[in-house]
Structure 1
Amino acid sequence: MAVTALLLSSTMLPVQAAPLPPPEGEVLLRVMGNIEHPNVDGELQLDLDQLMTLSPHVIETATPWTEGVGRFEGPLFRAVLEAAGAEGERVRVASLNEYEIEIPFSDLHDYDVILAVMRDGEPIAVRDLGPVLVLYPFDEHPELLNETIRHRSVWHVGTVDVQ
């Protein structure tokens, strides 16, 4: 477990000295579990502005669920975990409709997986897979177009539980 945490932390931003302040806007994501930097009731709660300030990243890709190539923006998943002070081997991602899947930290180390919150310059609406979407860089890495990764590409993400 310590080796995995070390591998992940070596690819992330420096550990924050203090937790982020509580969100001022609507909470889009709650990070819980084995974290050291909560900001509200033992969780790291993040709004759109906070998410977009954590290592913003752009992926231009087609997905199995959308038409054509889209321009998706959001923080690197590993940067969100770093902001939370996460330690573990995997995360359990849960959607607003209660779909859950585990994602190993190795995915977040090996690929620039983002928590997409914007598509083509607009916030992603719930009816369009939002407000948060786990997105792998499919066009950069065609090997990711497989059943396992499709299941890990969670839409309507509400919580991330670090384990």
Structure 2
Amino acid sequence: MRLIQSVFAPALALVIALASAPAMAEPLPKPTGPVLLTISGDIEITNTDEGTAAFDLAMLREIGQSEIETTTIWTEGRHRFTGVSLKALLERVGAKGKMLKATAINDYSVEIPTSDAVRNGPIVAYEMDGQTMSRREKGPLWVIYPYSSSSDYRSEVIYSRSIWQLDRISLE
């Protein structure tokens, strides 16, 4: 019996690893619409000649939609934000860094630890109340945390990470 276990256990582990590998290494298609977000740095999956991952709106939607219903310190009342979870986005590009530098259209940047990318955590929002966000409305992309869900998300540190008009992320 031990001989069977010693022979089959490594083989079973290899089969499981190979079965899960294609989903993790699935190639990233090229964007067909305007590029809203470019991710660079310590990532494994890219789709440009520069070794970055470029996303249009359709590609962000394909990763999977997440919603956060919350109030913010920048808007009046409660709003429903729709986007891709930061966790899923980082997983999609095979992020390896411990810190991401998020940069806005105007070159303003903030650092966000990858440890913030948790289930039911922040999203990269592309809609507010069912409408895509213009630059005037802090779009086209805005890092939104679930502020109303926990006092842990209502701190100066978290608010400072909530960058709007996001267009670049670099993993370090």
Taking structure 1 as the reference length, the TM-score comes to: 0.87
1:114–1:135 Cα contact (<8 Å) kept:
yes
Give the Cα–Cα distance (whole angstroms) in 2 for the partners of residues 16 and 52 of structure 1: 18
RCO higher in 1 or 2 (8 Å CA, sep ≥ 6)? 1
Structure 2 residue 43 is the aligned partner of structure 1 residue 35: yes
Give the Cα–Cα distance (whole angstroms) in 1 for the partners of residues 97 and 152 of structure 2: 25
Question: 1:15: how far off?
Answer: 5.2
Counterpart AA for 1:80:
L
Question: 1:88: how far off?
Answer: 1.3
Structure 2 residue 25 is the aligned partner of structure 1 residue 17: yes
Question: 1:46: how far off?
Answer: 0.4
1:19–1:84 Cα contact (<8 Å) kept:
no
Q: Secondary structure at 1:23's aligned position in 2? A: coil
Query: Counterparts of 1:11-160 in structure 2 under 5 Å?
Result: 16-41=24-49, 42-109=51-118, 111-160=120-169
Structure richer in helix, relative to its length: 2
CA RMSD of aligned residues (A): 1.4
For each residue in 1:136-158, what CA deviation from the matched residue of structure 2 results, as whole angstroms up to 9, or x when unmatched?
00011122111111110000001
2:87–2:119 Cα contact (<8 Å) kept:
no
Structure 2 residues not aligned, in runs of 5+:
1-21
Give the greater-gyration-radius structure (CA): 2
Q: How many residues align?
A: 150
Q: Secondary structure at 1:50's aligned position in 2? A: helix
Give the Cα–Cα distance (whole angstroms) in 2 for the partners of residues 37 and 15 of structure 1: 12
Counterpart AA for 2:114:
F
The alignment-based identity, stated in percent, is 39
1:61–1:138 Cα contact (<8 Å) kept:
yes
Taking structure 2 as the reference length, the TM-score comes to: 0.83
